[in-house]
A and B are shown apart, each in its own frame.
Chain A
């Protein structure tokens, strides 16, 4: 009560001054050129690079020698992905890290969405049950979609569409380059179809279950084992092979990469020849997706030459 009048007025003014809201500082984000396009595997990066030329910055962060399908980036790398203007996804559950990462849904492009219904389910996981959630299994989809060149073209188109959306002013250029790319992939498709025709229903072995789309797309009679090219197969794996051969008498084993010579010679002693068909999920040490696929096709063509096909008639 003994407060003096001037003191009281001072309080009023002080409170009035405090109520001035701090103005929110507005930072305008400068447009970033060229836009950055991140991809989860190399084929998509290749498509983006071919279509966009230098007009966007294509970033593919998976280190060499690592399979992008099972790669798991750290939080800092994901933070980089968050800065992307566009993130090209393979779809089909490819790159499991995506379901554990935070990325803007509006910037994600599922390049296999157009043919989602034709994806191949795989069920090699154990169903388990605990708690109230009921049965659940970790079932997924086969994801090496680009080994079917028709799907590869579909994915390239999705890349093309999203790039046009990103930089509409370049549509004519993109369309021209897309045409070229489609032509290249189309040629591969044709040659694969031709060689597949020659292979017919001859049983084939695949060293790893990543060729589902090649097998189905080109109607091959293929079965897979779980062998690594750089590892010597154990006794269990050989036994599994013998069991498989009993019903599936294959003359060729198709490898993801150059197999060990010992494995090759042991297989040869059993009458199974080896050839390499690289899925090329990661960036190759030499060449590019097209050259690797050309090598793949040529390997098949050499293994199943046209004359052989004629002889069989």
Chain B
């Protein structure tokens, strides 16, 4: 048996190009359905797990999918905005705890998630180092962000302005890293968490600036009357919140009207959840409440249908590949007629020679299946992350 395998292996190695092409095509045909399945199953599991942990989302009326993807996976597209008043109203209802979410800004590719301290407890996120953000301008990094940027508590990260060019008055904000989270294997690993008020500062809704009544600001003051000082836009706005200028940061107007992308509502119990949902059934309501699990399940149904189509196509291609491989094998038998004759003449039995040829086929199949298995495992491990980052950015 060893000799048969040896001779078969030598043949395949000598014809490595032919073998390589054969192995690759069979591998692909095996891998396509298994890999696809792995990606979809894993993604579905990831998506569903997170949706299951998120009981209710309040957001502006519109696409529930956009609301869920933005709130759960911090996708780039954000839903229409709602006011902070929605969070207050959920909180005041006594039916649920309200965790505000303002997922709109980014630091390079990492989403900046404006939220409250309760988010960490809600998602069971533990601190690997440092502490939660305590004052404006502080942030907490997901494990993957800290790793990719190579920063730790005490360092800084800067918000990006590229996605918000349309918003006048938006300056990149240098944020101090207060803490780094332990890895959670969820989208939280890739996020930068800030107090929702810090997100408002990034948007320019809250700001710190020179006291316009002071002489240093004189050059920027356009007019001054008893009550109103008009200054030009070059008034120095701080793009970093430090201990020195922290006290100058302030918000104008009613915080209740400040923007959020969603409110994560955590009902006290099932009954409270039902009552809370009932409050949003009014057609005239400007906001909606969604159960992320239902939204994601609907999405997965669509994906499954697409998967069926792809599988059917792969099966047809697979049959074609098997037929082609068989043809190649038969042609090669014909070309090897003399070799086989010689083996018979110098004493090789028919069974022995046939075993050798069969061994070649088996090795090719084992090789391609193993490679497909490895690829599938790799896909199982990393595929969903790649797909999610592809879909969500």
Contacts and interface: CB of A to CB of B under 8 A. Distances in A.
Interface in A249-302: none
Contacts of B328: none
A22 B134 CA distance: 30
Nearest to B377: A15
Contact of A132 (B132, B168, B249, B366): B168
Interface string A13-30: 001101101101111000
Given A19-B381, A74-B243, A99 B250 contact: yes
Contacts of A11: 374
B370 interface: yes
Contacts of A72: 246-247
Contacts, number: 132
Interface residues of A, number: 45
Interface in A111-132: 126-132
B117 A82 contact: yes
B134 A129 contact: no
Nearest to A135: B228
Contact of A130 (B184, B235, B373): B235
Interface in B158-179: 168-169, 178
A209 to B, nearest CB: 18
A126 B138 contact: no
A211 to B, nearest CB: 25
A133 B132 CA distance: 31
B374 A126 contact: no
Interface in B100-123: 100, 116-118
A75 B154 CA distance: 12
A21 to B, nearest CB: 6
Interface string A44-69: 00000000000000000000000000
A245 interface: no
Contacts of B373: 12
A105 B13 CA distance: 68
A128 B228 contact: yes
Given A78-B135, A101-B135, A130 B246 contact: no
A312 interface: no
A164 interface: no
Given A102-B117, A136-B252, A16 B183 contact: no
B134 A128 contact: no
Given A19-B377, A103-B117, A131-B168, 20 more contacts: A1-B13, A1-B16, A1-B19, A11-B374, A25-B182, A99-B251, A99-B255, A100-B246, A100-B247, A101-B135, A101-B136, A104-B116, A105-B100, A106-B91, A126-B213, A128-B228, A130-B235, A131-B169, A131-B237, A133-B169
User: Which 8 A-B pairs rank lowest in CB-CB distance, beginning with the nearest?
Assistant: A78-B134, A102-B195, A130-B231, A136-B252, A75-B134, A1-B16, A104-B117, A131-B233
